[in-house]
Amino acid sequence: MRRGAGALLLLLLVSSGPGNTASLPGQSQQIRSKALKRLLEVFGMEDAPPSPHKVRQPPQYMLDLYNTVADADGVTKEPDLLVGNTVRSFLDRGETRNQQFMFFFNLSSVAKSETILTAELHLFKLRGRPSQDPGQHKHHLCQVSVYQILDNSTSTVKGKRLLSTRVLPVHDSTWEVFTITNAVYDWIRDKDSNKGLLVSVQGLAGEQLNNYIHFATGRDHHSSKKPMVVLFTDDERRGTATSSSSIETPFLSEVTLHDKASQSRNTRSLNLQGCQRYPLYVDFEEIGWSGWIISPRGYNAYHCKGACIFPLGQNMRPTNHATVQSIINALKLTNGVATPCCIPDKLFSINLLYFDDDENVVLKQYDDMVAGSCGCH
């Protein structure tokens, strides 16, 4: 999508609102539907937005991560804070444990085309419980091992694969993180291979401590402490979405058919002001997306407008090419040479925190969504 057409699309959506399909003369419901579909594609959702979900609290980790990488409007604070452009969280869906720490996470919403960067198992470790065995109280450290379950014979070496192991203080109560990337590689390639994870707790001498050391499950404890897999991926979407002339053309046609006198007045007005950046607020509630987006509620995309006529001052941030073009236009040295265009010359990314169709919480970063400054080009 060209930058000008992208700003036009957002203006079309924001000005119309969900219940106002005639805010631009000649605008039809079909055009609005195409606009919303195109905006979904920009946000990497090819078919339809996730369904609205009942209000529930997102994992605190995901809220903290969002606040770390984005400001209040969702604009990225630093481009390198996030590994990849997508972070997904999956809560434990296991039902039975058989006195073992067994967890299951449904990762079917991850596309095979996404590049898996790293995957983490987040467990909230509880303080060691009192035991009738006096020998248990002498333990100050324990070894926690995470296994990928390969088949139902978890008691055998062939039935599981060691993913991560760490030595932890027995009496601490805190979140612990284990790397499980190799298991997730397998699960994404073949979803039927996902049989869950097994966590084993032993003393440093090898004795079992499963009845002494426990992890919060979300059923027996507050849901905020539920076991969680956090997956960092990259879908290799960089820059604005691929152009689609069949969809862009109607938008341009709508503006072309707009009231000619109004356009003439606007042109005269713009000629009085140089190229500048103006607000363009995208309200997700107005678009009808507030049911699944957690943060932000909207963001200021900004847009550029104004004249780029000779002479171009440095405040218009002209390129050398734009300066030469403005001179050729002013002197009429060549027919058909227009004045340079007022467009964004710096673009920032934004971040969305939202629920997907499986009620997983996703943090996704989208490039080139905010005009940081404008210039004549």
Query: Radius of gyration (Cα) for the chain, nearest Å?
Result: 27
Average the pLDDT over 300-314 and give the result.
Answer: 90
pLDDT at 48 over 80: no
Q: What is the pLDDT of residue 196?
A: 94
Q: Is the peptide bond before 311 cis (omega within 30 degrees of 0)?
A: yes
- Tell which wins on pLDDT, 355 or 2: 355
Are 142 and 168 within 8 A, CB to CB? yes
- As a whole number of angstroms, the distance between CA 258 and CA 26 comes to 8
At 53, is the pLDDT very low, low, confident or very high (cuts 50, 70, 90)?
Answer: low
Three-class secondary structure assignment of 79-114: CCCCCCCEEEEEECCCCCCCCCEEECCCCCCCCCCC
- What the chain holds in terms of domains, given with CATH numbers, is 3-50+238-376 (2.10.90.10), 86-234 (2.60.120.970)
Burial 284-308 (b: 16+ CB within 10 A, else e): bebbebebbbbbbebbbbbbbbbbb
- At a CB cut-off of 8 Å and minimum separation 6, what does 23 contact? 15, 16, 17
At 288, is the pLDDT very low, low, confident or very high (cuts 50, 70, 90)?
Answer: confident
Average the pLDDT over 39-66 and give the result.
Answer: 80
Q: What is the pLDDT of residue 163?
A: 96
At 361, is the pLDDT very low, low, confident or very high (cuts 50, 70, 90)?
Answer: very high
pTM, entire model: 0.78
pLDDT digits (tens, 9 = 90+) for 182-234: 999 999 999 999 999 999 888 888 887 877 788 888 666 667 889 999 999 99
Q: What is the pLDDT of residue 210?
A: 72
pLDDT at 346 over 60: yes
CA atoms within a 13 Å half-sphere pointing along the CA-CB vector of 142: 27
At 98, is the pLDDT very low, low, confident or very high (cuts 50, 70, 90)?
Answer: low
Q: Is the peptide bond before 296 cis (omega within 30 degrees of 0)?
A: yes
Residue positions counted in the chain? 377
- Tell which wins on pLDDT, 52 or 279: 279
Q: What is the pLDDT of residue 270?
A: 44
Q: Is 272 helix (H, G, I), strand (E, B) or coil?
A: coil
Q: At 146, phi and psi to the nearest 5?
A: -110, 130
pLDDT at 15 over 50: no
Residue 215 is given by DSSP the state B
pLDDT at 237 over 80: no
Burial label, 4 (beta-carbon count in 10 A; 0-12, 13-18, 19+)? middle
Q: Which two tokens stand for residue 157?
A: 């070496």
- At a CB cut-off of 8 Å and minimum separation 6, what does 134 contact? none
The closest alpha carbon to 213, from 124, 292, 149, 147, belongs to 124
Round the average pLDDT of the chain to a whole number and report it.
Answer: 79
pLDDT digits (tens, 9 = 90+) for 127-142: 766 554 555 556 688 8
Q: What is the pLDDT of residue 289?
A: 87
Angle between helices 29-42 and 3-16 (to 10 degrees): 120
pLDDT digits (tens, 9 = 90+) for 257-270: 233 334 444 544 44
Q: What is the pLDDT of residue 42?
A: 83
pLDDT at 149 over 60: yes
The closest alpha carbon to 148, from 115, 121, 170, 130, belongs to 121
Q: What is the pLDDT of residue 158?
A: 73
